[in-house]
Amino acid sequence: MLMTTFDHPGVLLANRYQLQQQIGAGAMGMIFRAYDRLTSDTVALKRVIVGSSTYNTEELRFALLREFRTLASLRHPHIISVLDYGFDSLRQPFYTMPMIDQALDVVSFARDADFDVKLRVISQLLQALAYLHRRGVLHRDLKPMNVLVDEEGTLRVVDFGLAVITESSSKSLDDLTAGTLAYMAPELYKGERLSPQADLYAVGVIAYEIFAGRHPFNVRMVGALINDVMHKTPDLSLLPDAIRPLMYTLLAKTRGERMALGSALMVREAFYHAFGLPVPRETLAVRESYLQAAAFVGREEEMRQLTVALNDAMEGKGSAWLIGGESGVGKSRVVNELRTLALVNGALVAETQSITETSSPFRLWASILRRLCLSVEPSFFTDFAVAVMRAVVPDIDKLIGGGMGELPPIVPTAPTSEDDNELPSRLLSVMTELFRRQRTNGAPQPVVVIFEDLHWASRDSVTLLSAICRVVDDLPVMIVATYRDDETPELAARMTTMRHMRLPRLSKHGIAELSESILGAAGRAPKMVDMLERETEGNAFFLVEVIRALAEEAGDISNVGISDLPERVFTGGVQKMVERRLSLIPAQMGDLLQLAAVIGRQIDLPLLRAIEPNADVDAWVAVCSEANVIDIYEGEWRFAHDKLREGVLGSIAADRRAELHGRAAAALERLREVDVDERAALDNAALLAYHYQIAGDKEKERHYLAMACDEAGRRGAYRQARMFGERAMELANAAGSVSVLWLENLNAALGRVYAGIGEYAIARGYFDRQLTHARERDNLEGIASALGSIASIAWHMGGYQESWQYANDSAALFRALNNSAGVAWAVDTLSSVARWMGDYDLSRRYAEEALALHMQNGNPYGVSEAHHSLGVVAQMMGDNDRASAHFHESLRLMREIGTTPRSLHQLLNSLATVERTKGNYAEARRYYEESLTIARENDNQRMEANIQANLGKIALFEHQYAEARRRVEASLAIAQAIHYKRTVVFGNELSGTLALELGMIDDAERHYQEALTIALEIGERHVIAMLIKCLGDAAAARGDLSAAWGKYRDALGMLNEIKVKPLVYMVLIAMARTLVLSGDAQKIALADGIERLILSLPNLNAEIQSAAAQLREDMDMRGGVSAAVELESGDAGVNGLIADILAGRVGG
């Protein structure tokens, strides 16, 4: 066989398996020892080489499809398990198996062994063949090196090659070369088709070698070997007398003679009968192999729909499916069939399953991310992408090789967040890009993602899934999720982005097909089908359980249906079924079974060993696996069905359960200390809190809840962080005596959580308490941090003077502590406050300092944000070219290192504002539309509401009133539906301005008043002041200049108090327009003086300059100014004017 470049050790296969060394070869391929990057396990990988001349035929493609389906379903104690399978980049098939180290081939193991060992391994080999033949599989390459015995004496048949499905095979030896000549049946040399009797012939040769000590024919020369096989009778005198007749028939020259022996099970019985020994009863594991191998039936229409969807995904047209059905109806079988079909068609398959236990909010996504990381372009792994994924997959650096950057902390700093949860937003951005950039051999890689048991997923995981489903239409991605619709019927209503499919119970025809696949012809007997329908009503899980019970009663699965059937199998329904299965576990292993159940559906073997270091956990796994209480899923042990775990939990008394949870928690703590890097801190803390809660240890529950709150908050999982933190605080209040350090840290964590969701007043309370506790401990770092957090909250709430003071104090402390990252954070806030207070030079200097510090600290996220801040300052100063340069540098960095949709949205809005200020409305609209696309792809309704309002504002500037109304109404509809008050205020303000321009003064006042009412609830003072100014504009339009002046004066007083200079200037210009509207020459002269005073000020933004120009135009329309009023220039002049207005010395 020629070795290709893909066969050399070191080659990476399917982006997952690193070939290490060749350990075997045959006519159809090679076997390698390989390293699995995903699981870090060593596996045996079989590469099957299919000739190019026949590979493209439709017949062989279907044969491969059937073969892989069968290999994946084989579950027998004497047959090697197939762990994974698929096609490489050349579309050549491969599959992986567990690596059996230090194994011997069956002949080497048994040739010199005792008689009972010889008979036992031959019996096990025949049991394995019987199972394969019942499943319609021929081994085709049976020889000693493919029948291995491990160190414990367990036989396993390995290396099937591509066995041919008997029900459709018509291939001859010439067509399908395989096998080793020394073990090939005589008829195969004549070109006859393969059959079960060919496998039995190979068993005969192996048995001869075991009992006689040598091969029955001359194997030194191929010609002599072929002649002997075709014509020579082996020397039977070397065999025990008792089995000579049996061996003569097994080694017969024609298939017809061997057919007289019957099936492999009948040959097994013949060996025991020949020696005068009783045939051992069928072991539980062997019986389970038939039950687990039940055929897939009754889902033709469902599979037709899913197959069409898969074909569409392969062509780049993705879809998402939600499959519902009751427990046990067969949802897992459907997705297993889809998995096989997807792999055969060249798709990558990533799977995950929800669990009920408390854990990190996105644990469901961990295995998906891990799998997809192995097949993405290397350029995908920016610092940002890796840092985001690390929040869900802690060992991401090990998986992809090499450490990357850290995720920037999520802190309540400016600008205002548009999202109430950062981590989902970041994950959505990364996941979408991860799907887009899947590659195989340089071409786009179709992907199928399977979520099982979605009904147990966290709200965050489900929300993320729903958002991702929105963007798969134009991707080669198919998403399939299953859930129990009888327990969570409301889930379907939430998943509006998925197509729904419901699995009914099996029909009577389906019951008959399933029964026959397990029992053979007896399974189709009318009495059997009637009884199964009566007992199970078509639930597939119950049906298999009923047959299991019948097999136990009959002693052998082959005896089911021979004797009379009972009227009823279970009088207690599913509960009795579960109890019966669990009763197969010996009482002495009950403790481990209960521990496993309280830990969760996944079997945590390291934790079990830590809890019970003296227990034989491996033996427990073997017994539970043999009883089918646990099974393997994605390389991990789990309870085979949730009903089984529920059955164990239901049998545990409350005090006993508390004890078990306490033991689990204590062991988990020990593991955490030893192997903290392997387990996510959030998972650990949350799970420990969960275990200690049930154990009744409130002190430790509180301790770990606080840790979980802090970790979840730092990652942006605010909903779960709030739940953890509030419970921890509740326990602390009940306890009475808690350490000041603990309270300081928890208040800080809860402050960050409430700031993250926009509850600033509540956040302020927590940060104030953090500051109090930090001062109690004289903790300077804690004091500086609390001051910085309070500064940010005050900024958000419009308390600019207060924010300025706190940020200054925070910066001073951080400087004294030589904490440059803390200084950068504080001066970021100072820059924002200075900007809002109109001191643009100072704002720029702080932003430049922040930029320098972020560059010094190697923080590219901070550098990007600093450029954004500098851009906003330049924009406010009217330097649009400099603003645009900073914004584009920030955008370049964002695209290079990755960013969140929120950050990109804010930057695009800033770019749009620059263009809008220049009057480039088309370019501004382009930026807003791009941002709108991002919002919709990410299902971010807050962002969409804000953008619609901004698009409405552009339309208003262009006097496109119908478009402006449409956009603003769309914005308000979204904002009101999701209770997003800030944009409700913005939308009503725009609606008022639109109404005012159209002369609808009553409508304008109504909208302004609605906006003001909500703004008063939020508490943002500059917004309140500007809405009062808007009410003044409405009064002026009505001609009530006195009322207008009063509103303007109230607004001016508020804005002067909080020192927001740009808005102060806007109100002064509005007041000057009122003076012009009065028609009084002296007042017009004062207006002229106000206009000249404001234009003499430095760093005016474009909006102020435009308003001043409009004021000058109004004065000119009234004939100009007859006499000038000279006002003192600069800030002194402004302050004097404001003082006179507020004191009533200057009036309208």
Residues annotated as catalytic are: 141
Listed residue (182, 90, 188) closest to 142, CA to CA: 182
Neighbour count for residue 617 (Cβ, 10 Å): 18
> What b/e readout covers 1113-1138, taking b as 16+ CB neighbours within 10 angstroms?
ebbeeeeebeeebebeeeeebbeebb
What's the token pair of residue 627?
A: 């009883």
Distance CA 149, CA 126 (A): 14
Distance CA 537, CA 508 (A): 9
Report yes or no: 161 and 121 within 8 Å, Cβ to Cβ: no
Residue 298: φ, ψ to 5°: 75, 10
DSSP assignment letter at 183: G
What's the token pair of residue 942?
A: 């807050």
1036: three-class secondary structure by DSSP: helix
Order of all β-strands in the sheet with 42-48: 12-13, 17-26, 29-36, 42-48, 93-98, 84-87
DSSP assignment letter at 236: G
Listed residue (360, 585, 396, 356) closest to 488, CA to CA: 356
Distance CA 679, CA 603 (A): 15
Report yes or no: 840 and 1099 within 8 Å, Cβ to Cβ: yes
Listed residue (780, 779, 778, 827) closest to 804, CA to CA: 827
Distance CA 322, CA 455 (A): 11
535: three-class secondary structure by DSSP: helix
Residues forming beta bridges with residue 960, ordered by sequence position: none
Q: Give the CA distances from residue 167 to residues 185, 254, 264, 444, in Å, rounded to whole numbers and listed in that order.
A: 20, 21, 18, 36
**CA angle (232 as vertex; 229, 237 as ends), nearest 5:** 110
Residue written as token pair 């008394």: 653
Characterise 163 by phi-psi region: left (phi > 0), alpha (psi -120 to 50), beta (else): beta
Distance CA 1088, CA 1069 (A): 10
Sign for the pseudo-dihedral over CA of 970, 971, 975, 981? negative
Listed residue (557, 538, 537) closest to 547, CA to CA: 557
Q: Give the CA distances from residue 135 to residues 67, 245, 295, 951, in Å, rounded to whole numbers and listed in that order.
A: 11, 29, 9, 64
> What is the separation of C-alpha 47 from the centre of its chain, rounded to a whole number of angstroms?
31
**CA angle (183 as vertex; 181, 189 as ends), nearest 5:** 50
681: three-class secondary structure by DSSP: helix
Distance CA 850, CA 891 (A): 18
711: three-class secondary structure by DSSP: helix
Report yes or no: 338 and 480 within 8 Å, Cβ to Cβ: yes
**For residue 33, what is the enclosing H or E element?**
strand 29-36
Residues forming beta bridges with residue 84, ordered by sequence position: 96
Three-state SS sequence of 809-866: HHHHHHHHCCCHHHHHHHHHHHHHHHHHCCCHHHHHHHHHHHHHHHHHCCCHHHHHHH
What's the token pair of residue 429?
A: 């951005």
What's the token pair of residue 268?
A: 């097994």
Distance CA 421, CA 361 (A): 12
